[in-house]
Structure 1
Amino acid sequence: MIYIYRHYRICLQIDYRFWSVENMVEAARARLTPGRIAAFDCPEGVSQAFLWDAVVPGMALRAAAKGRKTFIFQGRLEGKSLRMTIGDAESWTLELARRRAREIQGEIDSGRDPRVVKQERTAADEIKRAEAEASKAPAAEAWATYMEHCSTRQKRPWSARTHQDHERLADPGGKPKTRGRKKGEGETTQPGALHGLLQLPLVKIDADAIESWLKENSYRPAVAEFGFARLRAFTRWCARQKAYRGQVDTQAFGDDNVKEQVPELKARTDRLRRSDLRAWFAAVRGLGNPVHAAYLQITLLTGCRRGELAPLRWDDGVDFAHNALHLDGKTGPRVIPMPPYIRALLVDLKKRNQAGPNIVSLDGTRPAWKPSPFVFPSQTAKSGYVEEPRYSHEKALQAAGVPHVSIHGLRRTFGSMSDAVGVDLPHGVVLQIQGHKPQGVAEQHYRVRELEELAPWHAKYEAWILGQAGIEQPKVEDFQPKAVTAA
């Protein structure tokens, strides 16, 4: 017994880094117990000492010179020795350490390197933690990424108008209003239709959440239908992205309860009738705001969308030399003719813009004036151009005794009355001036109308509408424009 004890003490004082596994196991092996673990320390003069477990081969308690104790496992893989740390002896129980040692031996027996297995588990855990954190983030963050991708990186990027529509849907509101207000509205903007829903994590935007959102917005069916369609497109995009695909439920939009809440929109039919034209033109021309008066008349005579005409600039939008208007709309840039009456309205606006308001101060001096770059300027709108002509239009409709017609209804009037013109006006001409996509194979591939080919038809159409209103079309010398391409 004395000999065995002395041999054990000598083995503990040897640096075991230079010993083989077999030698170390023979040197010190005992059934580990909590008492032995507590009593085992690293002898002086060595950096570490091992107490090998007699229950699980390869497992040991390692005591470092600084006092730290850890469970380790040492074995052989493909003829080479490997050592792995299991865990701190203060944190791991003996049974858990033995269980982990057996798992490591099992991985070695199956031909796998337990160190690689541990790295794979760690990477998988990090991915799960990242996914868990992402699942807590509001969907608005993914919405911003979606907008950036669709506006810049996809094959057919969004137009500026489409990007703006999506910004408005997610807008938090609370900003001072710069456009006209309806009766009873506050001084700040309201949150966008999808703002509240996008504050939820993606995983929370399920069938119940969408159904509840549709019910809350049932009082404005057009907004609800518009937002629903954009939200569905957004979730489908998320389902294709590695970062979000496990967080979205694309099947929620097909839920029967959800589909029952989606509003069925009726097509709007508001427009001016032929019998309204005389009173409407008289009332609009009598408006005290010449900019709004010109804007409304040109909208009717061109069928433009309000977002195409309002930001028109003098430098790159109006070409008096070729009697052409350069527009950038929903279907992309296009050039349309400038018939005589529209030209006269624009010439008048140009003169007013250059001269400035007829204001004289008390000392007889005129204030400094800087012409606006916009054709339809506004002193109050943040953008610098007309953003809300509805008030002026409603005022003109009341004066004319005409039922409500929206600004878009003027565009609808242009398209609808083309069938009543006393000339054989090609339907494709109307669509091209309005900015619709060509319809049919012939229009898409075999009807290429240049500006000089559109101009005579547009002038005839303008003359017919003015004739219904009792207005004589101005005479313009050499109205027929020269060929010009889109800017």
Structure 2
Amino acid sequence: MARPKKDAPVNLSERQALTAGLIERLVCPEGKDKAFLRDSEAPGLCVRITAKGAKSFVFQTKTKERTFFSRTIGDVKTWTIEQARTESRRLAVTLDNGQDPRELERMQLERQAAQRQHEQVQAVTVGEAWQQYILERTPKWGEHHRNDHARLAKAGGKKAARGTRGEGVTGSGPLFPLLALPLRDLTAPTIEAWAAKEGQARPAAARLAWRLLRAFLAWCAENPQYSAIVPSTNPAKTRKAREALGKAGAKQDALLKEQLPAWFQAVRALGNPSIAAYLQAVLLTGARPGEVLAIRWEDINTQWRGLTIRDKVEGERVIPLTPYLHQLLAALPRRNAYVFASNRAEGAAITEPNHANDRACKVAGIDHLTLHGLRRSFKSLTEWLEVPAGVVAQIQGHKPSATAEKHYTVRPLDLLRLHHERIEAWILEQAGVQFDAKVAPGKLRAV
């Protein structure tokens, strides 16, 4: 039989054994969008030719349910004839077995996607989940709580700004070593080993970090994205971890009545008026050190002699603006919105007032008195005056401890002032501090 010429038309009405030359001569009949040349060796295998000249291997047949099935195998430039025949036979066998290749492929793709997702989830690090946790929970936290999360997870390694003459670097937070671990590896033994190490180096910070870690892992267990990774039982809540970190001892630092003269003299001699006023304000209001730092000029109500405190528990509370404290605050320079403004950082309050307190205490011969110890001193000193406990708690921002206090006792500002001014006057008397209450605020002078 003579070999057909290269330009001879291909007979599309009959099945033919596919060859490279036959496929090369294949053209789409004029007036049609596409045409098919059927293979005689592999049932269902065709070569599709479009009007634009694109050629592909295609499998076409009818299923047992008498429905038409068509599947493009691939371009003739990519697939060989034998490869196309093999694929065609595989599809035919699959259909004969009553299975739809399209459904099988869909299920395979779903399994592969699920496997990839599982691998991605298993590869999630503690740091990645921690960032998602911070992003989601930050709107529900106060500023102090947000700062704790940032401080305890910081990387460190930066050049220290103070105390090292430019030779030292900052240390990392207790939680930082855990952030690089895969979340799946944050198990009870891992946390216990971490607690044992950090509990020796910095127990107070480690205890706080441990509490934050417990809350984070509880959030992971409730989050569908991470619940399959972390155990249902919180791995941070173990006896070994708790014992490794130890218990925080009850703080007892407070000013004695006899120490008031030396403390006031040393504090009032400090070179920075804002820090001197700040330390006296913490003692005379009994407020939390951070609450006093956050006081702004807009929080001072001179008309009704009230001072608004940004309370970490209730949001805010109003306490009396006592005479001596009023004069102290009015004498301060107004550098920015904060009453106790920094003379270095623009638009910020003073920083590290505890160092100034330590220096003053050293001069006064007082050991181990913290800023929170000044708040504790306010409560302790009121015992000398037998001031009602509910009054002191309301001034300091403690929650009521009895039903009557919660629901039946309402103390307006003027009633609080009656007791608070008596407390201030007694403390100043014991300290030997005299001032002229008749002098207009802003013109404070020693007598």
- CA distance in structure 2 between the aligned counterparts of 1:391 and 1:466, rounded to whole angstroms: 24
383 and 235 in structure 1: CA distance in 2 versus 1, 3 angstrom threshold: farther
Distance in 2 (alpha carbons) for counterparts of 1:452 and 1:241? 49
Choose which of 285, 290, 303 in structure 1 pairs with 2:286.
Answer: 303
Corresponding position: 1:198 with 2:179? yes
Seen in structure 2, the aligned counterparts of structure 1 residues 124 and 305 have a Cα distance that, compared at 3 Å, is: farther
In structure 2, distance between residues paired with 1:75 and 1:434: 85
Q: CA deviation at 1:237?
A: 1.1
Offset of residue 199 of structure 1: 2.3
TM-score (structure 1 length as normaliser): 0.73
What do the CA deviations read for 1:181-216 (whole angstroms, capped 9, x no partner)? 4x8996543222212311223223223432332233
Normalising by structure 2, report the TM-score: 0.79
Aligned positions of 1:49-448 closer than 5 A: 49-51=37-39, 61-63=45-47, 72=59, 74-76=61-63, 79-84=66-71, 102=93, 106=97, 108=99, 115-116=102-103, 118-152=105-139, 157-175=140-158, 181=163, 187-218=168-199, 219-249=201-231, 251=233, 252-255=235-238, 257-314=240-297, 316-331=298-313, 332-349=315-332, 353=333, 371-381=335-345, 384-418=348-382, 420-423=383-386, 425-448=387-410
8 Å contact 1:340–1:476 — kept in the other structure? no
Distance 1:324 1:201 in 2: 52
Q: Structure 2: any 5+ residue segments left out of the alignment?
A: 2-9, 29-34, 442-447
Deviation digits for residues 355-401 of structure 1, max 9, x if unmatched? xxxxxxxxxxxxxxxx3332112223466211101221111111111
- The residue identity in structure 1 corresponding to 2:274 is V
Letter matched to residue 329 of structure 2: L
Q: Secondary structure at the match of 1:128?
A: helix
Q: In structure 2, what is the Cα distance between the partners aligned to 1:287 and 1:435?
A: 28
- 1:132-191 Cα shifts (integer Å, max 9, x gaps): 234434332322221221123xxxx1112211211222222345556x64x899654322
Residue 12 of structure 2 is matched in structure 1 by 14
1:93-135 Cα distance to aligned partner (Å, 9 max, x none): 9989867765565564xxxx65345335424433432442344
Matches of 1:144 and 1:234, distance apart in 2: 11
Deviates more, 1:248-257 or 1:383-392: 248-257
**Identity over the aligned pairs, expressed in percent?**
33
Question: Tell me, what secondary structure is at the counterpart of 2:310?
Answer: strand
What displacement does 1:233 show?
1.0
Q: Once the two structures are superposed, what CA deviation does each residue of 1:254-311 show, in whole Å capped at 9, x if it has no partner?
A: 4555454343222222222222222211211222222111111110111222221113
Q: Give, as a single letter, the amino acid of the residue that structure 2 aligns with 1:429.
A: V
Q: Matched residues in 2 for 1:433 and 1:405: separation?
A: 22
Residue identity in the other structure for 2:253: D
Contact 1:71 1:89 in 2 (8 A): no
Tell me, what secondary structure is at the counterpart of 2:172?
coil
Tell me the SS of whatever aligns to 1:189. coil
Residue 142 of structure 1 aligns to a residue whose secondary structure is: helix
Q: What number of residue pairs does the alignment pair up?
A: 416
